[in-house]
Amino acid sequence: MGKPIGVLALQGGVAAHCDALEQIGMESVQVRQRSTLGKIGGLIVPGGESTAIRRAILRAGMGAALTALVADGLPVLTTCAGTIIAADATFGWLDIEVQRNAYGPQAHSRCARADDGTTELVLIRAPRIVAVGSGVQVLARLDGDPVLVRQGAVTGATFHPELCEDRSLHATLFA
């Protein structure tokens, strides 16, 4: 088995991603310190509260190190608030523009299917991708809006694949 997949564990939905990785036979490690970054074969930036996650990344001194790993082609999955972190306005790993909490408050959380009918979506205070750069590939849409995008080795989801039964996204990216 290769290196474990790191799950950024500074704030947010860490345990569900670790469980999802375990279910597909992948080892995970919770990343709380910069020193752990050299020991991982991929990274998940989970959902949570984007401002708190961003501040925690900077407080832990991981911003530049994470950006360097992305530039080196480390496979990265960002979900919900993690995708806000990856957006151009924050760290710039994905050339996208996002609108926070675009699908409504927590009370409006819902399950849906992507427009193609195949991708299960769990939307919890989800951001909406309102613009994509020319180098960004749209992999799935909901009501015409991108909900799953890829640029290089970074895949961004505005939903929570770790809360769905389907593990194909985690498996495709990391197995």
Residue with tokens 């990265």: 76
Concerning whether 162 is annotated as a catalytic residue, the answer is: yes
Task: Answer for the pair 21, 27: CB distance below 8 angstroms, yes or no.
Answer: yes
Q: Which of 18, 108, 120, 162 is catalytic?
A: 162
What is the number of other CB atoms lying within 10 angstroms of the CB of residue 34?
Answer: 15
| Candidates 27, 49, 108, 160; catalytic one | 160
The answer to whether the CB of 158 falls within 8 A of the CB of 80 is yes
Active site residue 160: yes
User: What distance in Å separates the CA atoms of residue 103 and residue 85, rounded to the nearest whole number?
Assistant: 18
Asked if 93 and 151 count as a contact pair (C-beta separation under 8 A), the reply is yes
Contact 5, 39 (CB under 8 A): no
The residue from 17, 18, 80, 164 that is catalytic is 80
* 165 in catalytic set: no
Q: How far apart are the C-alpha atoms of 31 and 19, rounded to whole Å?
A: 15
- DSSP type of residue 120: E
3-class DSSP assignment, residue 58: helix
* Residues that are catalytic: 80, 160, 162
